[in-house]
Structure 1
Amino acid sequence: MKTDRLGHWLAILIGTLYFLVPLAATFEFSLRKLRGVYSFEAYRVVLADPQFQSSFTFSVGLAVVTIVFGMAIIVPMAYFVELRLRKLRPFVEFVTLLPLVVPAIVIVFGYLRLYNSSSLLPLTNSSLGTNFLLTCGYVTLALPYMYRSIETGLRSIDVRTLTEAAESLGASSGTIIWRIILPNIRSAMLSGAFLTFAIVIGEFTFASLLNRPAFGPYLQLIGANRAYEPAALAVMAFMITWACMGIIQVISRNAAAARP
């Protein structure tokens, strides 16, 4: 028993060091911008850069639109699959996993071929159309994670009983989803939202090939031209991602504690 426990702790220690040592080294390097002294000068330079502010604001706004657009599609679909189309669940799960199989560069080149200036629907001719394409691409990339979160939340409640009770009181499908289903899967929706936010903030391929001023291309540009600022940006990106993961854990734990 003691040997097994020691092996478990050793595996945890090795895994922790594997992730934390490179991050600690990156953080230490980011503090060396001023020679001979540790400082947060690289972080100050990055945060004061107008291009950083505009690209980060653009990506945050796009992440919010992506979350709203994705939820508007996935929640009703997952609800009706769970309620009336359970035989289609394996097919829907297969489709939602395709973004993990098809590379992002293939998807974005497909968008460019279908919606370029010579097509019947030339969305790339305007910034608004290109932003819409980018949003669709991000919804596609986040589909596996968002759908799994929503599906898990729906399976944790009795969708059929809640729906039948609401229908017996005269509620429509829209009212049932908005006033009954959504409040009961709030934690699952927030989990999917934060995962989507983390994906959008760090995504590079879609934004670069569609030539949009997002945060991912800005990270690549800084990494190609500077030394200490990329390390500072990498640490900041890790902190944003970990903050999202931590919020998901807190929300999930509170939701579990609130259940009878």
Structure 2
Amino acid sequence: MRASRVLPWIVTILGALYFLLPLVATLEFSLRMVRGTYSLEAYRIVFADARFRQSFSFSVVCALSTIVIGVLLIVPTAYWVRLRLPRLRPLVEFVTLLPLVIPPIVLVFGYLRLYNSSSLMPFTATLTGTNILLVLGYVTLSLPYMYRAVDTGLAAIDIRTLTEAAESLGASRRTVLARIILPNVRPAILSGAFLTFAIVIGEFVLASLLNRPAFGPYLQNVGANRAYEPAALAMIAFAITWACMGLLQLFGGRRAGAVAAPRRISNPFRRKAAP
């Protein structure tokens, strides 16, 4: 009995040390830029760098744009497939998993061949077009994570019953999707959104080959030319990741699949009495 109780604690402690020791070592190294003392000089230099602010803000805008497009694309698709086209689920799941099989470098070279300045849709001829192409590439990379999260959230609720009940009260399909389905899969959407945010912030291949000032190429450039600043950037990126997880716990308070109360479902669609 004692061995069965002690062994899990040993495994937990060893796992914690495996993950925490490199993090502590990186933090300690990032504080040693000033010889003989601990300081935040590396962090000050990073935050004072105009390229850091430019690249990070650019990646944040790209991430938010990717999340919005991904939600508008995935939620109606997953909802319609589960409601009306269940036989197409294997095909849709296969298509959304392709970005995990196709390397990003192959994907971006395909984009460059299809959408260069001499093609019918010359996205790369302008900076705006290149930014749009980059965001669309991010949407493609986020498909496996966003679709799986939304599909899992939809599986936890009875969308057919909710849809029929709302339509019997006079709701249109668009209203059902916006007022019934979206609130009930909100935690699942947030989960996919924060995974997408983390992917976009750290992505390197697409932004580098499209020559855009994103955060991933900036991390690589700093890591190749400096010593202490890369450690500080690693800690900043780690803090951003944990902040995303904290926001997920904060805004996704209601568990996925929690169905709204009947009062909230029926009220928006109750018809007014004739005068």
Q: Aligned partners of 2:4 and 2:104: how far apart in 1? A: 42
Q: Please give the residue correspondences for 1:1-260 in structure 2 after superposition, counting only pairs within 5 Å.
A: 1-252=1-252, 254-256=253-255, 259=258
Q: Aligned partners of 1:47 and 1:83: how far apart in 2? A: 49
The residue type equivalent to 1:3 in the other structure is A
Q: Aligned partners of 2:256 and 2:78: how far apart in 1? A: 25
Stretches of structure 1 that go unaligned for 5 or more consecutive residues are none
- How many angstroms does 1:3 deviate by? 2.3
Cα distance change, pair 257–66 in 1 and its aligned pair in 2 (3 A): closer
Deviations 1:78-103 (A, max 9, x none): 00111111122222112211111111
Classify the secondary structure of the residue corresponding to 1:256: coil
Aligned length: 259
Cα distance change, pair 258–120 in 1 and its aligned pair in 2 (3 A): closer
Would the aligned equivalents of 2:96 and 2:143 in 1 still touch at CA under 8 Å?
Answer: yes
Q: Aligned partners of 1:113 and 1:7: how far apart in 2? A: 56
Would the aligned equivalents of 2:63 and 2:196 in 1 still touch at CA under 8 Å?
Answer: yes
- How many angstroms does 1:257 deviate by? 9.8
- How many angstroms does 1:127 deviate by? 0.8
- How many angstroms does 1:248 deviate by? 2.4
The residue type equivalent to 1:143 in the other structure is L
Q: Aligned partners of 1:230 and 1:25: how far apart in 2? A: 13
Structure with larger Rg: 2
Classify the secondary structure of the residue corresponding to 2:35: coil
Would the aligned equivalents of 2:96 and 2:147 in 1 still touch at CA under 8 Å?
Answer: yes
Classify the secondary structure of the residue corresponding to 1:195: helix
Q: Identity percentage over the alignment?
A: 67
- How many angstroms does 1:156 deviate by? 1.4
Q: Aligned partners of 1:36 and 1:182: how far apart in 2? A: 55
Deviations 1:227-255 (A, max 9, x none): 10000000110111122123324545x31
The residue type equivalent to 2:59 in the other structure is S
Q: Aligned partners of 1:25 and 1:47: how far apart in 2? A: 21
Q: Aligned partners of 1:219 and 1:257: how far apart in 2? A: 35
Q: Aligned partners of 1:83 and 1:6: how far apart in 2? A: 49
Greater share of residues in helix? 1
Would the aligned equivalents of 2:157 and 2:258 in 1 still touch at CA under 8 Å?
Answer: no
Q: Give the stretch that moved more between structures: 8-17 or 73-82.
A: 8-17
Deviations 1:19-44 (A, max 9, x none): 11111111100001111110011001
Q: Aligned partners of 2:255 and 2:193: how far apart in 1? A: 18
Deviations 1:197-217 (A, max 9, x none): 111111101000000000001
- How many angstroms does 1:174 deviate by? 1.2
Give me the TM-score of the superposition, normalised by structure 1.
0.95
- How many angstroms does 1:258 deviate by? 10
Cα distance change, pair 77–200 in 1 and its aligned pair in 2 (3 A): same
Would the aligned equivalents of 2:187 and 2:256 in 1 still touch at CA under 8 Å?
Answer: no
Give me the TM-score of the superposition, normalised by structure 2.
0.90
Stretches of structure 2 that go unaligned for 5 or more consecutive residues are 260-275
- How many angstroms does 1:2 deviate by? 3.2
Q: Aligned partners of 2:14 and 2:101: how far apart in 1? A: 30
